[in-house]
Amino acid sequence: MFNTVPNPIPARMKGLNRAEICDVNFQEFVRGWNGHAQPKPAPDETILDGSALDARGFRELFESQLISRHLDLMARVLRVQNKVFYTIGSSGHEGNAMVARAARHTDPAFLHYRSGGFMAERFRKLPGMDPIMDSALSFAASAEDPASGGRHKVWGSKPLWVLPQTSTIASHLPKALGTAVAIEAGKRLGVGLPIPDDSIAICSFGDASANHASAQTAFNAASWTAYQKLPAPVLYVCEDNGIGISVKTPTGWIGESFRNRPDLDYFFADGLDLASGYGDVLRAVEHCRRTRRPTFLHLRTQRIMGHAGTDFEIEWRSFEELCAVEAGDPLLRSAAIALESGAMSKDEILALYEETRRKCFAAAEDADSRPRIETLEHVMRPLAPYTPDKVQAEATRAPSFDARVKAFGSEDKLPEKQVPKHLAIQINQALHDLFAKYPETLLFGEDVAQKGGVYTVTKGLHKAFGNRRVFNTLLDETMILGMAQGFANMGMLPIPEIQYLAYLHNAIDQLRGEACSLQFFSDDQFRNPMVVRIAGLGYQRGFGGHFHNDNSVTALRDIPGLVVGCASRGDDAAMMLRTLAALAKVDGRVTAFLEPIALYMTKDLYEPGDGQWLTEYPAPDQALVLGEERVYNADATDCVIFSFGNGVPMSLRAARQIEQQHGWKVRVVDLRWLVPLNHAAIAKHAGECDRILVVDEGRFSAGIGEGVITAITEGGFGGKPIRRVVGADTYTPLAGAAFLVIPKDEDIVAAAATL
């Protein structure tokens, strides 16, 4: 492509570090250039004929490229001295600085790890910021790192609207689209956005990542949205370097895959050439901003110096191929542009190159002297913030009377004035109250709008609050949770619904790897407040099998920072929802509300028609405390049964039988909060009772019951008679066979007999 690149590197350099080769290569190229230079252009003159860049813009982009390169070189040198802890570099991708220049610093950016050029250029958008020192602090894992507080090397900045990502492989694409959709939704709702109304969301990723399921679902959802003429201003930037670690992308694959994709507008730009590429980048950014359509920018890049410092490409790539790759270094082309246009002389380029190197190494040495994280408390500080008094005050703050009357239709229809109701109705009433309390609340998922959900739990919300706040999505749990993160990013309170717990496992990384990690990796500068409603657990009759009776909550228990509540009765459900929403609003928490499907319509407890599982609707100023259990027969000390969800009414029925058979007084504890478990409360009840039963409708392995047993044992009461009544390690079969694999009332009674 270039007619000014150096000759292939001689054989004597085959054994050298490839970073050193690239470093030497650049300097020798500049010194050896003998072309004809044009007269030095004025700052506002274009650098070359046909270029959209003026001299000032080119100079700044070139400087950003050099900053990115020298941060990479610095990382390779200082990593072996344990002064730097990250070597995945941006070398060959420095052309992504053009995207940062063409966009605004208020355009939310979700970047992959080869975004050093983008970040260096975006730092120019606000005065007084230092891309070199900020980056050096991150490389050094310094506690003073302004992006993550030293928890990971991330590209991120609160003032520059770069939301930190870790080593993402496409998992950030759904939330980028969600953010784009949320920008438009916020305008329609009249919710005050934290960024300008015409902002776009920017998301960068590699050509290999474009094949990932999370990427494909985001592209499909973007097209699906645009096909319906709904605005979705997301700019997907595919930085195509032709390789993923060591697996090559077939030549032309990205262009063929995306050039004619319906309702995903395709642009190509040469990221190796600032002069020819910038105009195309600018057109893509302006198109996305003007049309509000999802836009795909195919940016040609090169990966030089390997995937990371530990990737010795010479072991698996031919020497000739490496030489060809290094000859395509975009910095060589930028140096050629500077020289050909007369914008810079050889001496100026080399002086700038060495001065940038000096600044990067000086910053790194400075960063190495700064404090690092040294305590567990410091590590975990931003993971799960909890301010109990503020949360409780918010949870018990009732909506205005007028808003409630409007939501429910009349004063006479206020739910606290109605007769006791079952779980599904009380959840529905509580959702109406949350919508009245928080105008920024949105509820969305599969079938939740006009239909009101598979079990009519969201019935009436669409009619009461309209399409803008209650809407159906495509059948894609990954995108539902990606959308939730986007709305949360834009200051709204999303309540996404996952139709069945089994379906969550398709998309759980959106919670584990993305939503719940944001506070941790941004040092609590960015938050994803949301309440994820998940219908699940077993015991449905005449319907189901595994996909509709899934009782596996283990994956949820393993997500750091997540709060999971599971109410077994209607009044608890209403009060729990208020607390979950308050946790999201006050502390930015990601919360999940696990709804036991089989209890949705349950009215009776002991006998048909007794109505003892109906509850009154709690006044809107009542809420639960996080971790607070519900205790039945609190004075009983002969035996305690710990349970949750469907296990609670089973345990109450079993307790009656146990009392009749053995004369024991039985205490039943509804845990209600599954993540985090209240270890202190569990130990307290275990200590006060002579015998212990743990009823867990989940599976034998890795269920909630294991956590309860751990709390009892670590509380010092593991020596007491104790039994666990739990489901089998199997998938749930269809029809009556389902009840062979989950606990039953008689199993609890039988377990008590063994005590």
State CA 447 to chain mean position distance: 24
Residues marked active site are found at: 548
Side-chain half-sphere exposure of 205, counting CA atoms within 13 A: 27
Residue 95: name the closest of 268, 266, 235 by CA: 268
Residue 550: name the closest of 505, 593, 603, 590 by CA: 505
Residue 139: name the closest of 366, 344, 322 by CA: 366
State CA 363 to chain mean position distance: 31
DSSP result, 679-747: HHHHHHHHHHSSEEEEEEEEESSSSHHHHHHHHHHHTT-TTS-EEEEEE-SS---SGGGGGGSS--HHH
Spatial separation of the C-alpha atoms in residues 211 and 209, rounded to whole Å: 5
**Which runs of E-coded beta strand occur in 613-703?**
630-632, 639-643, 666-670, 673-675, 691-699
Contact 510, 174 (CB under 8 A): yes
Please, which residues have CB within 8 angstroms of residue 164's CB and are 6 or more apart in sequence? 147, 148, 152, 154, 155, 156, 518, 521, 522, 526
Contact 427, 574 (CB under 8 A): yes
Spatial separation of the C-alpha atoms in residues 440 and 413, rounded to whole Å: 24
Spatial separation of the C-alpha atoms in residues 212 and 542, rounded to whole Å: 37
Spatial separation of the C-alpha atoms in residues 490 and 80, rounded to whole Å: 41
* Residues 25-31: contacts with CB under 8 Å, at least 24 apart: 25/326, 25/329, 25/332, 26/329, 26/331, 26/332, 26/335, 26/353, 27/350, 27/353, 29/4, 29/5, 29/332, 29/335, 30/335, 30/339, 30/346, 30/349, 30/350, 30/353, 31/346, 31/350
Spatial separation of the C-alpha atoms in residues 258 and 295, rounded to whole Å: 10
> For residue 382, what are its two tokens?
């931003």
Cα-flanking dihedrals φ and ψ of residue 124, to 5°? -70, -20
